[in-house]
Amino acid sequence: MDSIKKISSYVWYQEDGKRFCFFVSTMERDSSAAVNYPPPRFDETMAWEYNYDTMVRGDIVAHVGDGECFKQHFNVCKALAKYGKYEEPNQDEEEKVQWYVQDDEGKRHGPYDDFEEAKTDADRIDGIIVR
């Protein structure tokens, strides 16, 4: 099956008065791993250095192939815009999640680092847990 373009973006980064451009593209495509037929499909995000004036791609600066496509794409764009480079997140470090409790008037309480603590407070005030 053909690849399906999901989203593409131009990302700008500025450092010491100089601007850099990157082209980021996310596609859905067949896996090249020979596991079964038809091959499983996955989302792949790639980013290149990009010369916006000549419309020529340069070196690949990012390649991500796991997770939901828009999250992949956003994370690569965000890193390139903020740091001018993309580094794979450390898989050993768990993403810190904070929880909030919303009461029936819409007021948020928290944040809570521990879900059970948020649940206890939500039960106490008859609220709901939100992130």
Structural tokens at position 107? 């007021």
E strands present in the chain = 4-15, 18-30, 41-51, 56-64, 99-102, 108-112, 128-130
How do the pLDDT tens digits run along the chain, 131 residues long? 688 888 999 999 999 999 999 999 999 888 777 667 777 888 899 999 999 999 999 999 999 988 888 888 999 999 999 999 998 876 555 456 778 888 888 888 888 888 788 888 888 888 888 77
Q: Please choose, from the candidates 48, 100, 95, the residue with its C-alpha nearest in 3D space to the C-alpha of residue 67.
A: 95
One domain, residues 68 and 111: no
Q: Please list the residues that pair with 30 across neighbouring strands.
A: 41
The domain in which residue 115 lies consists of: 99-130
One domain, residues 58 and 122: no
The domain tally of the chain equals 2
Tell me, yes or no, if the pTM score tops 0.95.
no
